[in-house]
Amino acid sequence: MLRNPWFLFSMSIFLFLGSCVYMITNTVGRLASSDVASVSEDSILYIDLEGVIVDGAEILEDLRTYAKEDKIKGVLVRINSPGGVVGPSQEIYSELLRIREDLKKPVVVSANALMASGGYYVASAADKIFVNPGTLMGSIGVIMEFANLSDLYSWAKIQRYALTTGAYKSTGTDTRAMREDEKQLLQTLINEVQEQFKAAVVKGRKLHQDQVDAIADGRILTGEMGVKLGLADSLGTETDAIHQLEDLTGLKDAKLFKPRQAQQEFMSWIGKGKSLFPGSQMSESVNAILPLALFGKPLYLMPQYIK
């Protein structure tokens, strides 16, 4: 039961400040990485896909800037992600596929603890996927979540209004329960997005449609299960993935080119990917912003990450 009459006001301030933090860290991060590093020797481009995929802009920038360089002979993508927003996941997938098909450079994925949903969507564009036996992977599916806060608004004596231009313009609003026709509309939408996911896996992994259909129900698999089902190629570590790229490119003792290493160190200080104030209440508040921002979007994301 809610006892604090200032709850809604506090939540509004909380969301506003969280949004400010998110925008500032993204802006500072991009400014910190504005200088283009040079590739001085034959190397493997190292891309680190960590956490929830929200916009993918930095990864896409690195791929488009460096993959075309003559001294970049291949791409290693290290994935530790539960997935994320549909569009950015598809963009990264398409860019990796372009590197393989147009630039004729090999792409190899190494999965860490988690390579699920949108994270797996991205991985399926690679020539080879290496996973640990206990890597959690798969979760081929789509989710959208909404909140009906009408009882909360009534309790707080808040009346909200919306003027719309059509019957479906306010679909997903938190001021009322969703109508059955609205549910059907959104179900049709996410079914279509699911078909796009399955088509990407069929193409990237060269599997039959019925093989993908049989496991495209959102289930989580271990890395060992994924290899048996053809969703990954081999059990192995990042070192094994590097050796695979050495074989594919002809490089010996391949050097890894990490274009955002300096930025990652800087951003870890101000909080991107890590807590702003480790162990503090403020840290928990900032970390809670992301799931709220994902409400009402079709997501390639494990449901545990929408809280």
For 191, the token pair is: 């079914």
| CA–CA gap between residue 288 and residue 53 (Å, rounded) | 15
Position 149 in a domain: no
pLDDT of residue 269: 37
Task: Determine the pLDDT at residue 71.
Answer: 96
Confidence (pLDDT) at 38 = 83
CB atoms near residue 66 (< 10 Å): 21
Which helix (H) or strand (E) element contains residue 75?
strand 72-81
- Residue 37: the pLDDT is 75
Residue 36 inside a domain? The answer is yes
Q: Is 169 marked active-site?
A: yes
- Angle at CA of residue 220, ends 216 and 223, nearest 5°: 110
Whether 139 is a known active-site residue: answer: no
Domain tally, the chain: 1
User: pTM for the full model?
Assistant: 0.80
User: What burial class does residue 154 get, using C-beta atoms within 10 Å of its C-beta: 0-12 exposed, 13-18 middle, 19+ buried?
Assistant: exposed
Catalytic pick from 43, 117, 124, 139?
A: 117
Q: Sort strands 72-81 and 43-50 into parallel, antiparallel or unpaired.
A: parallel
Domain assignment present for residue 162? The answer is no
In a domain, 193, yes or no: yes
Which residues constitute the domain of residue 211? Answer: 7-143+182-305
Say what the pLDDT of residue 8 is: 53
Q: Is residue 73 part of a domain?
A: yes
- Residue 128 domain-assigned (yes or no): yes
| Choice among 12, 19, 154, 169 that is catalytic | 169
Q: What's the CATH code of the domain at 197? A: 3.90.226.10
pLDDT at residue 285, as a whole number: 45
The answer to whether residue 234 sits within a structural domain is yes
**Spans of the chain, pLDDT less than 50:** 1-2, 5, 31-34, 262-287
Q: At what angle do helices 57-66 and 7-32 cross, to 10 degrees?
A: 10
Q: What is the pLDDT of residue 227?
A: 98
Does residue 160 sit within a domain? no
Tell me how far apart the alpha carbons of residues 184 and 251 are, in angstroms, rounded to a whole number: 53
- Cβ atoms of 150 and 177 closer than 8 Å: yes
Q: What whole-number distance in Å separates Cα of residue 27 and Cα of residue 244?
A: 36
